[in-house]
Amino acid sequence: MKELVEYMARALAHNPDAVKVSEAEQDGLKVIQLEVAPEDKGRIIGKQGRVAQAMRLMLRVAAVKEGTRATLQIL
């Protein structure tokens, strides 16, 4: 799942080398943390948060396929 988020973020960012993805687990929930360059934050979040919502939806679908739960935090 970490790879999926990294792939999507690198495709959207102007500076793909600044994309950092980390994974943590809290109470059985996988928390994927995405950190991008400040100038790319707007592109990752999108207008009214639509891109971020789509990324979270894709992450949830991948998590269900693996039988877990996951969420995305954009830092």
Q: Dmax over Cα atoms in the chain, in whole Å?
A: 35
| Residue 55, in any domain of the structure | no
| Residue 24, in any domain of the structure | yes
Q: Is 66 helix (H, G, I), strand (E, B) or coil?
A: helix
How many domains would you assign to the chain? 1
Phi-psi region of 67 (alpha: psi -120 to 50; beta: other; left: phi over 0): left
**Bridge-partner residues for 69, per DSSP?**
29
| Residue 18, in any domain of the structure | yes
Per-residue pLDDT band at 67 (split at 50, 70, 90): very high
Per-residue pLDDT band at 68 (split at 50, 70, 90): very high
pLDDT tens digits for range 42-63: 999 999 999 999 999 999 999 9
Which residues form the domain of 18? 2-47+67-74
| Averaged pLDDT for residues 3-14 | 95
| Residue 62, in any domain of the structure | no
Return the closest-CA partner of residue 32 out of 64, 69, 65.
Answer: 69
pLDDT tens digits for range 11-50: 999 999 999 999 999 988 999 999 999 999 999 999 999 9
